[in-house]
């Protein structure tokens, strides 16, 4: 099968090539899938896209006209594609949901502790021969009340990690995980009760119409313990302008995030040689003293990239044999 891989990154190519092992005819391009680049898929039966790509309805129409039948997402999240619309147009779509919840959860804890223990500030200071501790005081994580919004694959791993720290654990989700309740003492509470309880809050939710800007001013001003908020889900779950206000008003002690709601076209690319960054909100994120930002790198481990590649090839193999893919998405 001829496959066009959009948004191909140098770090993932060895994993995709090894998993493919010559089975499919891959073409790698660095460009994102957009309305302008859709024509590059002409002559390809399948495309592989990333979370930053744009398979919007008009783009899907173009892909269909160019003969594409299959779409694989090299990500667990699929909020960037309307699966129902894709299926209506005759596409089969699959994601890579099981690549490594450990990678994401571990990065969340790294964000928490990097912010909490002022690691970035510490490094900046000592490189200037400043070895004082005046601005490096953090807090013990032990005995803190930790909230997890979303106890799916990633949230479950985070619960286990924070249980190891000796934390009291609270969760909010539409589904209650009884195993987490019995084994790790997780207490499921409402979003409002969560806001009253926690010292640390992890966001592990999918982006949907229900979770879009879920953390806005009305929620953030309810936070009683001025928590550190860690986001390893999707940027648009947090209303960025309201987070700035929450930090400035002291409702939130810190925001450590791997995602940003307008990251598309910016994250995953090297803009160090140009003046591409024009977004005033992103500039504020980069310079706010109470914000720690990483460029959507939580998934980037050897194990996760291997699994993403293997699940991508697995879907292509199934479709090539006329079968349904294991991770085929349903509308």
Of 173, 151, 205, the closest CA to residue 163 belongs to 151
Catalytic option among 296, 310, 327, 328? 296
Alpha-carbon gap, residue 79 to 60, rounded angstroms? 15
Per-residue DSSP letter, 188 = E
Q: Is 234 a catalytic residue?
A: yes
What residues have CB less than 8 Å from 121, skipping those under 6 apart? 135, 136
Query: With contact defined as beta carbons under 8 Å apart, do 205 and 214 qualify?
Result: yes
Per-residue DSSP letter, 136 = -
Structure tokens at 316: 């292509």
Of 78, 77, 47, the closest CA to residue 62 belongs to 47
Q: How many CA atoms lie within 13 A of 137 on its CB side?
A: 2
The pairing of beta strand 70-73 with beta strand 46-49:
parallel
Residue 172 CA from chain centroid, whole number: 18
Structure tokens at 232: 């390893």
Its sign, for the CA torsion 211, 32, 86, 75, is: negative
Q: What is the DSSP string of 238-279?
A: B-HHHHHHHHHHTS-SEEEES--TT-TTTTTS--TTS-----
Q: Is 17 a catalytic residue?
A: no
Query: With contact defined as beta carbons under 8 Å apart, do 71 and 86 qualify?
Result: yes
Catalytic option among 261, 263, 310, 328? 263
Specify the 3-state DSSP secondary structure of 177: coil
Residue 38: what are its φ and ψ, rounded to 5°?
Answer: -60, -30
Q: Is 263 a catalytic residue?
A: yes
Catalytic option among 234, 310, 327, 328? 234
Rg (CA), the chain: 21
Which active-site residues does the annotation give? 234, 263, 296
């Amino acid at each position: 099968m001829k496959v066009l891989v959009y948004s191909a990154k140098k770090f993932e190519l060895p994993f995709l090539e090894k998993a493919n092992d010559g089975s499919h005819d891959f073409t790698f391009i660095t460009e994102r899938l957009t309305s302008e680049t859709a024509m590059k898929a002409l002559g390809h039966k399948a495309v592989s896209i990333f979370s930053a790509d744009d398979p919007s309805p008009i783009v899907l129409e173009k892909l269909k006209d160019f003969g594409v039948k299959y779409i694989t997402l090299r990500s667990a999240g699929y909020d960037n594609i309307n699966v129902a619309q894709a299926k209506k147009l005759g596409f089969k779509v699959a994601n890579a949901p099981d690549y490594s919840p450990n990678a994401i959860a571990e990065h969340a804890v790294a964000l928490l502790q990097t912010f909490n223990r002022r690691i970035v500030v510490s490094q900046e200071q000592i490189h200037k021969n400043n070895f004082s501790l005046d601005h490096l005081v953090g807090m013990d994580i032990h005995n803190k009340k930790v909230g997890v919004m979303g106890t799916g694959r990633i949230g479950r791993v985070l619960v286990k990690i924070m249980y190891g720290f000796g934390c009291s654990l609270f969760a909010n989700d539409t589904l209650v995980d009884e195993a987490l309740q019995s084994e790790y003492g997780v207490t499921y509470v409402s979003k409002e009760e969560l806001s009253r309880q926690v010292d640390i809050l992890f966001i592990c939710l999918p982006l949907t119409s229900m979770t879009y800007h879920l953390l806005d001013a009305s929620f953030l001003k309810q936070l009683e313990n001025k928590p550190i908020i860690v986001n390893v889900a999707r940027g648009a779950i947090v209303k960025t302008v309201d987070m700035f206000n929450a930090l400035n008003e002291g409702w939130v002690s810190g925001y450590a995030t791997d995602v940003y709601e307008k990251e598309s076209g910016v994250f995953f690319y090297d803009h160090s040689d140009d003046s591409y960054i024009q977004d005033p909100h992103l500039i504020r994120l980069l310079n706010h003293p109470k914000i720690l930002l990483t460029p959507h790198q939580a998934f980037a481990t050897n194990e996760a990239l291997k699994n993403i590649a293997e699940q991508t090839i697995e879907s292509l193999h199934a479709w090539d044999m006329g079968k349904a893919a294991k991770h085929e998405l349903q509308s």
